[in-house]
Structure 1
Amino acid sequence: MPTDETTTFDQNILSSLSPTDLFLLQFISIIYEPVSVTFLANCLGRVDMDFPGGRAPVKEEIQASVLRLRELGLLNRQNQVVPVLAELMTRKAVENGLFSALAYLIEKEAPVSYTYGKWSTRCWRAMRQFRIGVYSQDFDKIEEAQAFLEQQCQEHLGPEPPGVRMAGTGFDIAWFASLPGSLQFFLLDQVIRYSMESLVSFPPVQEYLEVGITSSLSEFELLPFRRMLASYYLFQGRLDSLARLVEDNEDGFQGSGFAGTVAFLRGDSSLARDIYVRDLEQLNAYAGDEGNFFLGITGVFCLLSMLERNEPADREMVRRAVAIVLSRCKGCPEEIPFRFLDAVVRSTDGNMPDMMELTERLESDNRSLTILISVLALHWMGVEIPPEYQDALVHLMEQGQESGFFWVAMEAAELLAAINPEHGAKYGPVAVSLRKQLGCRTVVHIISPEDDWKKSLQELISVTSRAREPRRRTRLAWMVDYRDGRLHLSAREQKKSSSGNWSKGRLVALNRLMQSRGLDFLTPRIARSAAPSARWGMPRPEMAAVPLIWTRPCLPLWGTLSFFSKNHLPHPLSWWPESRSCWWKNRANFCSSILPRTSVTARSRSGRRPPPAFGSSISRMSIAALPGSPGAMDCGFPWPRPDRCWTPSAILPRS
């Protein structure tokens, strides 16, 4: 999105603009990326077209117009049109016949490249190409830009899919209804999915799905849109509206699982299972007998109904269903919830999956359903839910209430009350009130958690991932050096030889780590921690041994790594003759030197806080009881005095 806080505008201002100002707004809207006055002047000076006033504006006139548009809040500091206005102006250019000529000019003067150039420029131009593809209905251009945006551009443009930027922001019913049905579905699918995954509402879009779309499409074309609306109703907890939608379009919802989901949430689990079986038979009749299952949210509810009864045949069905889903749509939005429900079944059989891999996938996935179902599964397995997961549930509850996704809010509140007695008085009444309002049950209590022994998530990960580490052939090592009064970090990719020893390592540019692409050794947890980093002082591209300033209160290695001496691998550092208090103090000095604008609070595993030298509390860090013992430095960043045997060191993944 335009890198400015301004996202709205006063439409009355448009009527006061000169023809030249309006023309420039349309031109800049199609460009979309940050743009200079010089570029605008050069482009317009090279094209032969009908300009307002009969001639192309010169650079001085463009400069004056741009300054005026900035003062009115229609352009940001990078000369980008605010998002809502950008779509309005581009559609205006389509209406008055200017769009094709201007788009051709822009693509010629600022061609898109997906293989070279600054990443930010590539991403802005990919977004530009996506928009040009939509407005010109060029599906090849849309597909090419969409693939690049999905794979490369979230860190540069934000999490919103391109369809959300175009259709979700400033939704225009008249324009949208004029699009072909396939293009409407393509854009609405992005908007609705993003809306449900992030719990952000788009009321005009929902209104169009409920009412407006019926006038622009045939009855046959409406089927996928109605199923889209049905999923939306589920997240909102509008069971009556969902039931009416299914009953009024019975043929279109055969084999979908929505009727069974309504029965399940209304408390009739037996009827729900019968309907699910009937719908699965219908699916097999449509798609063949090789094995089918509901691939979307109704599949999750179907598995919940089987887990509630929890007979051997039900557990076998869950395993089979998960296998089918993973074979058909690996990477689909519901994959991780399916995997966690499978883990619930396998936990009773003593055949747990690798929970480190699962939790890493969870931590890199912020979808609302993923968080809700995954934490619920951990609760059923008797895991003590970490504070950060509880915070995520609080966010779901608050965001769901604010945006009208009341089923998600209700289940999040109920789960919070169940996993932490301290939350019961605060969130329990919220869950009860929402259940009464929605007229539906909660799924939190369909399984009793394993309370015979409570285990931490870290213990569960340790038990289930012992066999994983030998399979890892590469790892990320951070080399630490103290020179000229500074600590320097450089990253190396190390490979394990056939003899089991790690290589010296190949230098990895830190800017590659920040982009987190194509690095097998970079786990989702570390990648997510490194994402908000900010670079400072880059004398050369490889960025080896360059000081960094991090926007988080500790390095991106937080919570995932240990310190090792370069000369004593693989044993952790053990050269602290000081007392624990001195060690704590050195930790504070280290973090203060690297993070001059922040402060850090650490906790020992006994829960005791360090001395006040750490300043205000910003984050939690896990510290072993004594330095120098194996695995002693979970997130250990001590800074020994330079006169005490300081040698270059390596920070390696915790084993």
Structure 2
Amino acid sequence: MINLTTDTTKLQTKLLEKKYFELHPSLQKIIQLFSVIYAPIDKNSFISCLSKTGALDENNKPWSTKTLSPQIDKLLKAGLLVQESRQGAECHPLLTEIATRHAIKTEQFEIQVIALEEKLPIRTHWNDDSRRIFHSLRQCIREIRIGFYRQDPNFINKQIEDYEKYGDSEEKIVIQNIFEQICNNPFDAHWLSILPQGLYESSISSILLNSTLKLSASEDAFTLLEEECSHSGKHCSDYLHLILTEQMLLRGCTEEAQESLERISHEYQDNAAVFWGLLCFLRGENEQAITYYTDALKKLKKATGKRQIYFDTMGGLFFILALLKDGSVQRLKEAEEYTSLMSRQSDHWLRFIYGRLKMVLQVHQGDITQKQFVLSAHISSLEEENSLQTLFCSLCLYWMDAEGAKKRLPNLLEPLYRRSLASGYHWLAMETAELLSRLKPSSKYQKEAEALREDSGIHSIVDLIRPQEAWEMCLNALANLQKQPQTSLKPESELRLAWFITFYPSRCVLQPKEQKVNAKGEWSKGRPIALKRLSSGLSEFDYITPQDMRVCSCIEVYSEGYYGKVDYTFGEKAISALIGHPLVFWEDTPTIRVEIVKGEPELLVKKEKLGRLTLEFSPKLPESQNILHIKETPTRIKVIEITAEHRRIAEIIGIDNKLNVPAIAEKQVLAAINAVSGIVTVHSDIGGGSEGAEEVPAQTLPHIHLLPANAGLKISLLSRPFAQGGPYYRPGTGGETVIAEIDGKRLQTRRNLSQEKQLAKNAVAACATLTQTEEQDGEWIIDDPEDCLELLLELQTLGNNVVIEWPQGEKLRVSHNADLKDFNLSIQRQQDWFAATGELKLNNDLVLDMQQLLELLEKTPSRFIPLGDGQFLALRDFQKINYSINNDNHFQRG
């Protein structure tokens, strides 16, 4: 959408307007018709419409292709029309409304609309002429504009309904943006004043709402609204008083806001209660604010007949803050319920903010895991989303991690502060300055915040929550921890975003797809999602994870036209953002999960024949790429981010990527190793430089990675020389000496390659399930869930001889083993029958009586009995136990 309020845009609009009114009336009609068509159109179709209007050229003759074509070329050259490659001409967007309004004034509008409807009609359903099928958003906007200029709200609503129900386009319609484009392009107070009440209110509120969100200047519209309400003009209404109240509060004018509220009629005060609550909250009257909000919500539920409903305006955000400020367990729980409700509404314009506030509330109630989501979540700039989202999400980060906020937020907030101040939104400017003063203590922002706050009497929300140390937050979370209900095995959402990857040596192609779960808990193949929606409409998706957001932030625009027509693609950093993502699959084999792991370049130092040494940099660096991806195994991609230091090392090694040196240069090689070991991982056959690197013992135990693969598991067998962390390798491969930086500390170890190989071989030999499954590059895929459970039992018997890891979280566990010695059977006489009772003791805390065991056995023919939450009971001597229970439960005295 074009920013209609910048000085440059206003100047350009005036120049276009001047050129337009200097044209001959016959050419003005051409511009008018283009503006009503509101889309690119070829010359033949245009002349067909133009002829239908009866328009004549300068010589009072009907237009022909021969006479029209040079005139269109002149108008294009003058900039009054614009044309993208391979498309027809259209009216310049800054001239569109001027020309259409002039068409109304000169009584040409209806003539042109009739011609347009005949020559370029909207497609209708074959069985229902009243149902319009729009093939693009632009086509729908054409009809909405016609309805607006005809002053027909019912017609406008019908177009919106048809577009949303039957339209072919995925672009979302935002009526406020369309109204602002019509009414503020340019703003004309006199023209606006002749609109009927409903359209007048919608137009003013649309202009001011978009001004708030994008911090564009809207003084003309605000002045008109203020005058209308102050002098009880013909359009003055209770609804406009609420719009004025909201604007006054955002501009830091609390006294004026109160005066506006007091002018609202008694019958409309129920609707005003939210704004009274907002006013009280900003003044620091928290309990009074909660009272207003609570009463308003009760009346809203009664009026609508809905229990699950919340305020639609931005004032609802401040009710959450008021409850958060109260801090009691009951109020925090209430706030979480409201934020949970609003964050699930995929089409709500404040959904994203409510979702972030929900995480903060959950941390305060004991769910400390939500803190990491707040810390890692993307914070959109003003250009990406809107002013409220940037401010509130920044506050959430500051409340959770003040030190991290100091690094991330100033570059986002300083433009927000400047724009808020320039556009007159002094409350936004004050809160932004307050937050910046905490992030940059020695800056000017504290004084500027005080100056903005001085006359308003507003209490800042920045200190609503005091940022805490990590340990303090954990202790408070423990203190507020409530007993959680038992988690359900059903996914929280019926939808999820999965990533499908096609691997090429030079690049990875990503395709995001929306998957839906069925009643059996199985996920669908997925429906592709357009990158444009993920780039500009993330608020539509209520199931997007913080990591998904980071991947979507890598979407780039690589061409742009007059109306925001853009093409989208993933930047090269998208693959890095997918590191560790649990839902990545191969595009050509969509049931196989792909593990994306972080890697780093390696310097390989090898002993060659005759004692010579070679230094090889791996991988070889391409000139244009800064991120490399290497297919390590059939299901794992290693991602390496190339830095300037890496390129410098590669340049020194040489274009052949291999440096040969004589044996006498060993000391110099060791010195070189010492110098670069903090930049790359070093594998060396000659040891390493000890300067600054702590020598630690090598770990030779096999590491067994277990990852979900459909209903089964993918097993990888790896070696990790450093117990403290660091890279994994295939057992027995690579150099004996490894030097790497781990958690900011340089470590060195000497591997026992032969022992690594032998221990890995022993581990595989001890697991019959692995020996019976085909191996592919150190990986095994086991599809049968029961075979997976057998493998887990086999791994358990290995004890401390292996390290078992679940990189994506533990999915299965054989938590208990039982055989006949654990089963106690008691037989008692009951008249002519004996009754048997029994129990299976698994440990001191878990005992299953015979009835429970019978019920569990009925659910599965397997010896692995599900206990819930991914845990299983393994029965040894399964047939004997099953026989004993089923045959000894009741039997007749003989």
Q: Give TM-score, length-normalised by structure 1.
A: 0.72
CA distance 1:314–1:190, shift in 2 (3 Å): same
- Provide the residue aligned with 2:75 in structure 1: 69
Give the CA deviation at 1:152: 8.8
Residue 188 of structure 1: which of 187, 190, 204 is its match? 204
Q: Does 1:399 align with 2:414?
A: no
- Provide the residue aligned with 1:529 in structure 2: 553
Give the CA deviation at 1:245: 0.9
- Provide the residue aligned with 2:283 in structure 1: 266
Take 1:185 and 1:313, find their aligned partners in 2: how far apart are those partners? 39
CA distance 1:325–1:83, shift in 2 (3 Å): same
- Provide the residue aligned with 2:501 in structure 1: 478
- Provide the residue aligned with 2:224 in structure 1: 208
- Provide the residue aligned with 1:54 in structure 2: 60
- Provide the residue aligned with 1:92 in structure 2: 102
Gaps of 5+ in 2: 126-132, 475-483, 561-566, 605-615, 630-639, 652-679, 682-724, 731-739, 741-776, 778-806, 810-894
Trace 1:286-305 onto structure 2 (pairs within 5 A). Answer: 294-305=311-322
CA distance 1:48–1:428, shift in 2 (3 Å): same
Quick check: 1:238–1:438 contact (8 Å CA) kept in 2? yes
Take 1:348 and 1:592, find their aligned partners in 2: how far apart are those partners? 39
Take 1:154 and 1:449, find their aligned partners in 2: how far apart are those partners? 42
Quick check: 1:261–1:302 contact (8 Å CA) kept in 2? yes
Q: Choose between structure 1 and 2: higher strand proportion.
A: 2
Q: Give TM-score, length-normalised by structure 2.
A: 0.55
Residue 205 of structure 2 aligns with an amino acid whose one-letter code is D
Residue 405 of structure 2 aligns with an amino acid whose one-letter code is I
- Provide the residue aligned with 1:80 in structure 2: 90
Residue 341 of structure 1: which of 344, 353, 357 is its match? 357
CA distance 1:162–1:603, shift in 2 (3 Å): same
Take 2:492 and 2:336, find their aligned partners in 1: how far apart are those partners? 26
- Provide the residue aligned with 1:107 in structure 2: 117
- Provide the residue aligned with 2:33 in structure 1: 27
Q: Does 1:367 align with 2:386?
A: yes
- Provide the residue aligned with 1:241 in structure 2: 256
Deviations for 1:352-383, whole angstroms, at most 9, x for unmatched residues? 68678887696598232223223323332347
Give the CA deviation at 1:583: 4.7
Give the CA deviation at 1:59: 2.6
- Provide the residue aligned with 1:546 in structure 2: none
CA distance 1:44–1:15, shift in 2 (3 Å): closer
Deviations for 1:310-365, whole angstroms, at most 9, x for unmatched residues? 234432442454466569x7643333333433433332221468678887696598
Deviations for 1:75-126, whole angstroms, at most 9, x for unmatched residues? 33454333342112111212222212212322333344699xxx99823322
Take 1:146 and 1:398, find their aligned partners in 2: how far apart are those partners? 36
- Provide the residue aligned with 1:136 in structure 2: 150
In angstroms, what is the RMSD of aligned CA positions? 5.3
Q: Choose between structure 1 and 2: higher helix proportion.
A: 1
Report how many residues are paired: 588
Secondary structure of 2:273's aligned partner: coil
- Provide the residue aligned with 2:448 in structure 1: 430
Residue 357 of structure 2 aligns with an amino acid whose one-letter code is L
Residue 408 of structure 1: which of 425, 428, 442 is its match? 428
Give the CA deviation at 1:225: 1.8
Give the CA deviation at 1:282: 6.0
Gaps of 5+ in 1: 457-463, 537-548, 595-600, 616-622, 633-645, 647-652
Quick check: 1:400–1:406 contact (8 Å CA) kept in 2? yes
Take 2:360 and 2:405, find their aligned partners in 1: how far apart are those partners? 15
CA distance 1:487–1:248, shift in 2 (3 Å): closer
Take 2:46 and 2:119, find their aligned partners in 1: how far apart are those partners? 10
Residue 69 of structure 1 aligns with an amino acid whose one-letter code is L
CA distance 1:264–1:172, shift in 2 (3 Å): same
Q: Does 1:126 align with 2:140?
A: yes
Secondary structure of 1:17's aligned partner: coil
Deviations for 1:140-179, whole angstroms, at most 9, x for unmatched residues? 5523554649999797999982112101221222322222
Q: Which has the larger radius of gyration?
A: 2
Secondary structure of 2:104's aligned partner: helix
Secondary structure of 2:278's aligned partner: helix
Residue 579 of structure 1: which of 594, 603, 609 is its match? 603
- Provide the residue aligned with 2:465 in structure 1: 447
Residue 244 of structure 2: which of 229, 233, 239 is its match? 229
Take 1:300 and 1:9, find their aligned partners in 2: how far apart are those partners? 40
- Provide the residue aligned with 1:598 in structure 2: none
The percent identity for this pair of structures is 19
Residue 305 of structure 1 aligns with an amino acid whose one-letter code is A
Give the CA deviation at 1:71: 4.1
Quick check: 1:343–1:352 contact (8 Å CA) kept in 2? no
Quick check: 1:514–1:533 contact (8 Å CA) kept in 2? no
Take 1:114 and 1:397, find their aligned partners in 2: how far apart are those partners? 49
